[in-house]
Amino acid sequence: MEKYLLYILFFGFYIVKAQTNNPPVLTNPFDDISTFEDENFSFIFSVDLFTDPDENDEITYDAQMSDGASLPQWLSFDNSLLSFSGVPSNEDVGVLNIQIIATDLQGASATFDFKLEVINTNDPPYVQGNIDPIHIQEDEYFEYVFSEDLFADDDIGDELSYSALLSNGNELPAWLIFDNASKTFSGTPENNAVGDWEIRLTATDVSGEKVSLDFSLSVTNVNDPPVVINTIPEQKVEQNKTFSYTVPDNIFEDYDPDDKLELSASLADGSNLPDWLSFDNSENTFSGTPSEINVYNIKLTASDLSGDTVSTNFKLTVYQITGINQYKVDELIIYPNPSNGVFNIQLMDNDFSNKVFLSLKNTSGATIWTSLLNSNKEKVQINEIKAGIYFLEFKSKNKYLVKKIIIER
């Protein structure tokens, strides 16, 4: 529609035709765009996105959200460069509805709406807490649940799973159990667990990204008393003969690392050893020369550095063989010898008014088998002993003899 304006001048008048302003027109739209979280985003749209039908008119641009709100803080718009730019973070993931506004010199405007999608990029989990050093005692049940917020992941809806190893990459010791579902360490450390353990706890998200936290777990020793693990066989010594016996190292044991045992000896009732018998605890040796026949019940006690003790008893027999005749060689026959543990014994002259006792001893003098002869000729079967050299002792009221036998398997 046209209007006519009348201008009256001093010397006449002019009639001017005024033209109606036309708003900008969308001429070159673009498709929806996308970018990735944490990446530098830059997009420049064409200068001919809009054109203006009016000759010599100019267009300026602005941008806002389609609902009229301002652009998010991370996204900026430069109207001189016609560019959008910024770095979206995890909380910006999603789809933005953006509106570009084109305005001409007369204030007429037009709009173009498009979508900008921020695509999620996996963020690795991270540590946001700490586990203070943990101190527990040997032989006591231990349980530790770490905090829910020890680790975090900025990705919405991401889930973390947990695993645990030693800090050097080895598996946890058998006594220490880790349960991923309940986030719990538990177990009962025994003596071999005493010391410092460096534990590595790892959180893993659904994309396989990981983060780890190391912490220390110290197991404090609780003294374990020594224990008896072997017995001392009966010891024998002939009257007026020198006796010496060194206690083997495998009689007692103490499970505490670096603990030391000291041995002491007395009679079983707690009284002192007989005068003739001494015990040297630096060598763990009994020695002496008995002058009288007797049977002693000896108590050997082991004490650890904390003062805990354990004891074991053994018999020490002082015997006399004076006045006992030796069997003659041809009066006592063993055959076959060597044998496989089955052999015959034949006494050529024995009325059995006196019983004949048999004792089989090893080369250390320990008695490992005993029996009683019931006739002049008997078959003996000993299957439970190992191959080796043994000494078979024959003893009756009036006679005594020891013969060497060999067992072969």
Q: Along the 409 residues of the chain, how does pLDDT read in single tens digits?
A: 333 333 444 444 444 455 689 999 999 999 999 999 999 999 999 999 999 999 889 999 999 999 999 999 999 999 999 999 999 998 899 999 999 999 999 999 999 999 999 998 888 999 999 999 999 999 999 999 999 899 999 888 889 999 999 999 999 999 999 999 999 999 999 988 999 999 999 999 999 999 999 999 999 989 989 999 999 999 999 888 999 999 999 999 998 878 899 999 999 999 999 999 999 999 999 999 998 878 899 999 999 999 999 999 999 988 876 444 555 556 778 899 999 999 998 877 655 456 778 888 886 667 888 888 877 888 999 888 889 888 888 887 677 777 889 999 8
User: Do 394 and 403 form a contact (C-beta atoms < 8 A)?
Assistant: yes
- What pLDDT is attached to residue 13? 45
Strands 367-373 and 252-253: unpaired
Q: What is the pTM of this model?
A: 0.53
What CA–CA distance (Å, rounded) separates 394 from 326? Answer: 10
* Segment 281-290, tens digit of pLDDT: 999 999 999 9
Residue by residue, DSSP assigns 258-302 as T---EEEEEETTSPPPPTTEEEETTTTEEEE---S-EEEEEEEEE
For 227-319, CATH gives 2.60.40.10
Same fold, 126-220 and 227-319: yes
For residue 275, give every residue at least 6 positions away whose Cβ sits within 8 Å of its Cβ, in sequence order, or none. Answer: none
What are the boundaries of each domain within the chain?
Answer: 25-119, 126-220, 227-319, 325-407
Answer for the pair 67, 97: CB distance below 8 angstroms, yes or no. yes
CA distance 274 to 266: 9
Instruction: Give the Cα separation of 157 and 44 in Å (integer).
Output: 33
> Has domain 325-407 been given CATH number 3.40.30.10?
no
Sheet holding 243-246: strands in order across? 243-246, 285-288, 277-280
Could you tell me which CATH class the domain 126-220 is placed in? Answer: mainly beta
Helix and strand totals (H; E) in the chain: 0, 37
The CATH T-level fold of domain 25-119 is Immunoglobulin-like (2.60.40)
- Dump pLDDT digits (tens) for 240-270: 899 999 999 999 999 887 889 999 999 999 9
Beta bridge partners of 118: 35, 94
What CA–CA distance (Å, rounded) separates 275 from 277? 6
Residue with tokens 């009994």: 286
Q: Are 197 and 280 in contact (CB under 8 A)?
A: no
